[in-house]
């Protein structure tokens, strides 16, 4: 198993007009193109961006969050399949990673503050 890689993602929890390419009204919004990053600027953090430690585990895309990602009910809804883009896929040794749509339960047992999730993914 490779060491987790950090990627920049955008988190949304309240309905609002679309900003920065994020059109989902709530939940986790991965901005395309996403990239590998160690941190976000204060301005990015204020806009809802954060870093997640990510890895591929047992054919699933695993994310450990550094800020709140789950909705109040402890889930992350993914409305449409998400292609994480060529740079991210290559960084994990694939040509394509697509997170499958669905409602995912966030597990807080290992990371009680913000949790982790295993997304079903198509790995090519």
Question: Domain boundaries in the chain?
Answer: 5-123
Which residues on adjacent β-strands are paired with residue 82?
99
pLDDT of res. 54? 92
pLDDT of res. 7? 85
Residue 47, pLDDT > 70, answer yes
pTM of the shown model: 0.81
DSSP string for the chain: -PPPEEEEEEEE-S----BTTB--SSEEE--SS--B-S---HHHHHTTEEEEEEEEETTEEEEEESS--S-TTSEEEE-S-EE--HHHHHHTT-S-EEEPPEEEEPB-SSSTTT-EEEEEEEE-
Tell me the average pLDDT across 1-9.
Answer: 76
Residue 18, pLDDT > 50, answer no
Contact 80, 100 (CB under 8 A): no
Tell me the average pLDDT across 86-98.
Answer: 92
């Amino acid at each position: 198993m490779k060491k987790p890689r950090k990627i920049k993602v955008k988190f949304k929890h309240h309905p609002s007009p679309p900003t920065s390419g994020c059109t989902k009204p709530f939940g986790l919004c991965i901005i395309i193109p996403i990239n590998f990053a160690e941190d976000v600027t204060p301005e990015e953090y204020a806009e809802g961006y954060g870093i997640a430690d990510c890895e591929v585990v047992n054919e699933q895309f695993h994310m450990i969050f550094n800020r709140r990602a789950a909705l109040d009910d402890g889930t992350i809804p993914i409305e449409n399949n998400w292609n994480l883009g060529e740079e991210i896929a290559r960084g994990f040794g694939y040509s394509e990673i697509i997170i499958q749509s669905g409602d995912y339960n966030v597990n807080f047992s290992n990371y009680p503050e913000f949790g982790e999730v295993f997304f079903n993914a198509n790995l090519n």
